[in-house]
Amino acid sequence: MGFGDFKDKLQNLGQEHGDKVEQGMDKAGDAAKNKFGHEDQVDQAVEKGKGFVGGDQEEPPPPGQ
């Protein structure tokens, strides 16, 4: 399985179970913030991940915003 296949499966998972994927990403982000700090960077990474997975059906914000 190549990266493209993995990406497609991940996006399909996000579209089918977007609410659960987002909840998991938020929970993982909260754990990372509690352990490492860097709240702004973690929030940006979580939002970018949500946009990549496609669970929220919104376009991710442009870089730098």
Which pLDDT score is estimated for 64? 59
Each domain of the chain, given as residue ranges in start order, spans 3-53
Does the predicted TM-score (pTM) go above 0.75?
Answer: no
DSSP structural state of residue 56:
S
Question: Is the model's pLDDT at 11 over the cut of 70?
Answer: yes
pLDDT digits (tens, 9 = 90+) for 30-63: 999 999 999 999 999 999 988 877 644 445 555 5
Residue type, 53: V
**CA of residue 49 relative to chain centroid, distance:** 2
> What is the C-alpha to C-alpha distance for residues 11 and 17, in angstroms, rounded to an integer?
10
pLDDT at 6 over 50: yes
